[in-house]
Chain A
């Protein structure tokens, strides 16, 4: 973990800066927005950029800059909740599977494999279909759609670590399971999984926007980029800015995260030995090649 942070310091600023900028804008949004993102002003609807409204206004006279900034906050919040929850779930399930082993491990691996056989967004959509649309159902659905990959990695790291001589030594010396796990194994698991998770952040921001675009996510008056975009579609001819601005914001954030993910993938982060069959390994290699070129933007 500390190694990771150390290596982070050596990274080119132009890769880290855009992501930090996004996070900073999202966190400071309430102080940055010139207007309340939900405040409507019917005397100034659909205006172009001006000193009063730097990016113009939308069909209800709401300040677009404020809505874009507010949208960053909504995206970051939802994405962080999902990422954290999926991480915890994945690390817990994966580590337990690796640590306990036996039949439990086999069952868990099968479950993980089935989840990985379907694209995350399909799983998320199916879960939203079952729970009904809404903000929290979106959060839960995305979490359940995203945990499997982290579980698989965690399990692989745990299995590899358990073979290390110092772990065996600790066991012989009578250290309890929790101690061994939290002191020796968990740090390695987190070091790897956190890296992959941060590369997933872009894909998650995209998934949240896509769900809102499809009308299955955030409800008004919360400003959300995907939703702003779909609402702006009715004004494409005269006011394409209503569509282009949230689309650009979204694209820039995803590009930033993908650059970060690419940098992570290129740095010498240890990778777990993966799957069992050749086909899987080969497919993973091909996937990694794609990832190296471009960390997979999961739609």
Chain B
């Protein structure tokens, strides 16, 4: 009896295992899947809402113009384009024979309909062409003309960004005109999307080169160690990037030394910097304090200790990989004596290792969110200790992402971390949003803003291409440096890691793109 029941149990188990195995075998034959970790759920991928992470959009939605490797503009939904000499007319010739993944044709009408959803709307005034839009007209099925009220120097570059400029099927909206489904012309189509994963299958009607594999799975893995282990175990193929699923330098070195996964590091396009509150009554409104903070920080040690060398110390607002990033400034070495001298010159008095001015102590509130900028808490601890040696007390306040987004625009801090937007948005993105006092930059807040700085930035953003623009940009950087308006720290390198399932890895043009182009999997 016992024997019999054990046998029947084992038989049952075996057949259950066999049954469970079947779908995997079917899937395995010819169905290659690229599994990418994402930090947070993909969300609704609405082109007009600031909820989803940007990278997922790039799988589904195409722009008119692509920001290619090194910042080269490449044709996408527009085959060609030209800008009139006065900069007021943009003409696009659209690609023929393109359809959205729901079968709706992409033509000039569909393009116009899309552009009208955001151009000229106050929510999108941060985009130059939206702010300056006068009219949009079509010319046959493939001609599209945009007239502007004033010239926008970075106009073409603005059409390469992710949201809201990409194109949605006009049928994928509800009665109120809100996006009802993420239907684009892109190489991938979303088939499943929930808070733990997103599945995309290849769009076989895609107009461009088709990827050599059929599926992409985006798996939500908020924990960084979990991502690394997923990569080690082969549950994940790709992790990394600034926004997709950040990989810490430490973990990158660990993965590298094990030899299983491969690391891909490249010079970064973003700068991590310490922002001073522009509030007039903040302690850091005192330039002497800003000078002292600036001089107290050992950027080289930071790059070496906390970034494991995967970062470059920097004194400029933008790294040299960004166009028009200005003359490189020498990276200052740490100088506690100079910091103290700056404070003394500013009327601060040292007593018992701390500073006071008119009875007020030198205490800075340091807003930090590990959630919005992974690794920033450790950097904050390091800066806190460096400032302490000068006698500046920094009180760290660790908050979550949402609170950060609330306190930053309210300038409810003395010190906080900022990261420049990077390619393709910079330099105009960061400058136009985070340095102009009259522009609403939403949760991003302001790196620095002052009525004195406004006209300088405005002039640079409006300057025509060429040496004039370069000089106007340099004027901004000179002003920022002369006023010690910010404290650049390091330019972190772009870090990705990929597993043995990936035959070739190609760095996406920007860290706002999802990696898949040029990537080949082992069959």
Contacts and interface: CB of A to CB of B under 8 A. Distances in A.
**In-complex A–B contact (CB below 8 Å):** yes
Given A215-B398, A220-B396, A237 B254 contact: yes
A60 B250 CA distance: 13
Given A42-B305, A238-B254, A231 B377 contact: yes
Interface string B224-253: 110010000000000000000000101100
Of the listed residues B224, B248, B305, B397, the one surrounded by the most CB atoms of chain A closer than 10 A to its CB is: B305
A286 interface: no
Of the listed residues A42, A61, A236, the one surrounded by the most CB atoms of chain B closer than 10 A to its CB is: A42
A236 B225 contact: yes
A84 interface: no
Given A220-B381, A221-B381, A234 B225 contact: yes
A93 to B, nearest CB: 33
Contact of A234 (B248, B301, B381, B395): B248
B304 A42 contact: yes
Given A38-B385, A233-B225, A45 B396 contact: no
Given A42-B301, A221-B385, A235 B250 contact: yes
A133 B228 CA distance: 31
B357 interface: no
Nearest to A61: B305
A219 interface: yes
A217 B248 CA distance: 25
A80 interface: no
A220 B380 contact: yes
Contacts of B384: 220-221
Interface in A108-128: none
A40 B250 contact: no
Contacts of B225: 233-234, 236-237
Interface in B378-407: 378, 380-382, 384-385, 388, 395-400
A56 to B, nearest CB: 16
Number of contact residues on B: which range applies? Answer: 20 to 34
B304 A60 contact: no
B172 to A, nearest CB: 39
Interface in B248-275: 248, 250-251, 254
Contacts of A59: 250, 305-306, 378
B233 to A, nearest CB: 14
Interface string A28-54: 000000000011101001000000000
Interface residues of A, number: 20
A82 B225 CA distance: 35
Nearest to A59: B378
B396 A60 contact: no
Interface in A218-243: 219-221, 231, 233-238
Q: Tell me the interface secondary structure of chain B in the complex.
A: helix
A60 B254 contact: no
Contacts of B306: 59
Interface in A136-150: none
A231 B378 contact: yes
Nearest to B398: A215
A39 B385 CA distance: 7
Contacts of B298: 42
A125 B225 CA distance: 27
Given A45-B305, A60-B385, A219 B395 contact: yes
A55 B171 CA distance: 64
Nearest to A233: B225
B377 A220 contact: yes
Interface in A251-293: none
B366 to A, nearest CB: 9
A233 B395 CA distance: 23
Nearest to B224: A234
A60 B306 CA distance: 8
A238 B380 CA distance: 22
A286 to B, nearest CB: 37
Contacts of B228: 237
A60 B382 contact: yes
Contacts of A38: 385, 388
B396 A219 contact: yes
Contact of B397 (A40, A219, A235, A238): A219
A60 B381 contact: yes
Nearest to A238: B254
B391 to A, nearest CB: 14
A39 B370 CA distance: 22
Interface in B360-384: 370, 375, 377-378, 380-382, 384
A231 B379 CA distance: 12
A236 B298 CA distance: 27
Given A60-B305, A220-B377, A234 B250 contact: yes
A40 B248 contact: no
B385 A40 contact: yes
A235 B388 CA distance: 25
Contact of A40 (B382, B396, B400): B382
Contacts of B388: 38, 221
A231 B398 CA distance: 13
23 contacts: A38-B388, A39-B385, A40-B381, A40-B382, A45-B305, A59-B305, A59-B306, A59-B378, A60-B381, A133-B398, A215-B370, A215-B400, A219-B396, A220-B380, A220-B381, A220-B384, A231-B377, A234-B224, A234-B250, A234-B375, A234-B378, A237-B225, A238-B250
Given A42-B298, A60-B385, 19 more contacts: A38-B388, A40-B381, A42-B301, A59-B306, A59-B378, A60-B378, A219-B397, A220-B377, A220-B384, A221-B381, A231-B377, A234-B225, A234-B251, A234-B375, A234-B378, A237-B251, A237-B254, A238-B250, A238-B254
Among all A-B residue pairs, the 5 with the closest Cβ atoms: A40-B385, A42-B301, A220-B381, A42-B305, A237-B254
